[in-house]
Amino acid sequence: MANVVIVGAQWGDEGKGKIVDLLTQYADLVVRFQGGNNAGHTIVLKGEKFVVHLIPSGILYKDKKCIIGNGVVLDPAVLIQEIDEIKRRGYFQDDSQLLISEETHLILPYHRRIDVARERTFKIGTTGRGIGPAYEDKVVRCGIRMVDLIDEKVFREKLEANLIQKNAYLTQVLQDRGFEFSEIFDEYLSYKHRLETYVKNTSLLLHEEIQRGKHVLFEGAQGALLDMDHGTYPYVTASNTVAGNACAGSGIGPTMIHSVVGVAKAYTTRVGEGPFPTELHDALGEKIRQRGGEYGATTGRPRRCGWFDAVVVNHAIRINGIQKMVITKLDVLNDFDMIKVCVGYRVNGKVLTYLPSNLEILKHAEPIYEELEGWKSEIEGARYFKDLPRNAKRYLKRIQKLTGAKITMVSVGSERDETVGVENPFAKRSFKR
């Protein structure tokens, strides 16, 4: 057996969707283990663009099983919309392809309203999708899970109890509107009838499939720098995005994970608030944004853009145990005369080569750059490293040396086949330590 975790090595939006979609050809199952519909994975297949927020990126292969794990917080309305859209476009015709953990927690309308109301004060940069408040309910043990929704009596009791406190909080503290019981209860019962066929004990199923020698690809959402514990807190998401959460978020043990692959862009982006040392506030940053189509797949918000930051990626490599790296969107840099790479930070006359936990220090960190010559040519047709221009290879080799992680694949375009160095991550050679 061989099981691989794919994680983002920056602030999310690294192109994991394409990489998971590409590597699914070698897997038997794909598992999404955290996050909610605050993150979107974009896949381009035969000129068609697909954006998925909850369904694992492997859904475009008809013979693969896709699991939404217990670590996800799920908005049923969004999931149903995704199901209908993918089916309408000729994919996912077999319902047995998708499974939802019965322990997955639900996002309810009051979570979204609380999220939006609080953002007016705290300005964290949340998408307003209710992700954080849903995880809060999970932690304080008043969350509603898929298994609760399936049992109408249990769902009624939990919703009634929750609405007492949620309505008081919404009206008295946040100065917003509350909810009537019936408007939520009736709506979510309709979701139950649409989704109950997919709800299974996925932890048990995963264990059985792994014991049979099946290959599992674990798909994270967001990126390492948005991890609740190890990211740029409080400007983070509401879950653990690191590879270690693949186990807790899917219901398997850590001995069942064999490799961690990190995904990073050839430059850096982030959405929302928070420090970003290599951010470009000039025409170069706008050029990267336009060439890379750097707008949020979920919200459409323009992403902040900057040069590749080896300090950030090294932090991600350490906290995830990343053994191999995939570099995406190298083609976005095709038209640059000079390309910079951040190799450290200068703070109060001192040089830091690690990411400080104190955000006041990070906010005032001055990036220390190395400059490399650009390659000034198109690379979309490259399929092997030898096909890349000399300066593109030099750029990748420098990143590899700075991070200490072997670059095994490079994305040079949005299509599935526009990738250099594709290898089977489940092959035995991939697990040599």
Indicate which residues carry an active-site annotation: 13, 41
DSSP H helical ranges for 24-130: 76-88, 109-122
Task: State the Cα angle at 36 between 86 and 110, rounded to 5°.
Answer: 110
The 3-state DSSP class for residue 213 equals coil
Residue 104 tokens read as 């997955």
Q: Can you give 281-294 as a three-state secondary structure string?
A: CCHHHHHHHHHHCC
Burial of 356 (0-12, 13-18, 19+ CB in 10 A): middle
In 3D, which of 183, 137, 129, 130 has the Cα closest to residue 158?
A: 137
Residue 275 tokens read as 């420090």
Measured over the CA atoms of residue 274, residue 278, residue 283 and residue 287, the dihedral's sign is: negative
In angstroms, the CA 82 to CA 209 distance is 26
In angstroms, the CA 266 to CA 307 distance is 8
In angstroms, the CA 229 to CA 166 distance is 27
Name the DSSP letter for residue 72. B
In angstroms, the CA 135 to CA 133 distance is 5
In angstroms, the CA 91 to CA 55 distance is 12
In angstroms, the CA 427 to CA 139 distance is 38
DSSP H helical ranges for 123-151: 131-139, 146-150
